[in-house]
A and B are shown apart, each in its own frame.
Chain A
C-alpha cells in the first residue's frame, strides 16, 4: 500500500519563475492538503482540495494555486517566485467522504519537496 508520494524531491528555481509540485495521495484517500514549511518553522497551511475543488485556504497570495485530478492526485503551482518562497512543501492526504465531514480523519504526510529560489 503506497503512502503519500511527492515529486520532485528537490528543485532549484530563480526569482520570477514558475514551479509545479506534484502529490499522489495514499491509496484510498480523496483529499489533499498542501503546507509550506520554512526552515526552522512549523508548516503553514496553503489549501486543501476535495472533489477537484479548493475546500479550504490559508493566508497565501493568489500566486499559489492548485489543482486536483480525477484520480485524486494534486498539483501545487507557484507563479512569480520570490526568495521567500524557498521552503519545504508538504502534501498530506486523508479520507474526507466517510465520516470526515463530521469528524477528523488522520492526515498522512508525504516526504516533501525542497524548493530553493535563487
Chain B
C-alpha cells in the first residue's frame, strides 16, 4: 500500500502559469520528499522537507508541509515545457530511513 496520495492525478497548464499539486499521507513522518519522473524513466530528487519545517524553496519550487493535516504541497512557478513530467511525493518515517513510501503521482503537462 502507498503512504502518500497526490492530488490532482493530472494537471494541464499553459507555459508560464503556476502548477500546484498536493500530497496527503497517513502516518507520522520524519521527512517528505518530492521527485520528478520523465516518461517512465528514473526519478530525480527535487526537494526534501523535514517534519519540523513548514516551507522550503528551491529555485522555482516551493514546498509546504502541514504535519497537523498530514499534507504537503508542491508549487512550480512560471512553468516551462521541460517541467512536463510526473511528480511524486515520498515519505520517510525516520531520519535515516531509506524505505521511502511513494504516492501514485501527479502527471503535469505544460502546453507551449
A interface residues (Cβ-Cβ under 8 A, vs B): 4, 31, 33, 35, 40-45, 48, 55-56, 58, 88, 90, 92, 94, 96, 100-104, 106-112, 114
Contacts of A45 in B (CB 8 A): 99-101
In angstroms, Cα B41 to Cα A92, docked, is 13
Q: How far is the CB of B106 from chain A (nearest CB, A)?
A: 10
B71-82 vs A, CB cutoff 8 Å, 1 = contact: the mask equals 000000000000
Chain B interface (Cβ < 8 Å from any Cβ of A)? 2, 4, 30-31, 35, 40-45, 48, 88, 90, 92, 95-105
A41: chain B residues at CB < 8 Å are: 2, 104-105
Give A48 to B102 CA distance when docked, in angstroms: 16
Distance, CA A76 to CA B42, complexed state (A): 17
Contact, CB under 8 Å: A42 / B98: no
Q: Is the CB of A109 within 8 A of B43?
A: yes
Please indicate the chain B residues that have their CB under 8 angstroms from the CB of A33 in the complex: 98-99
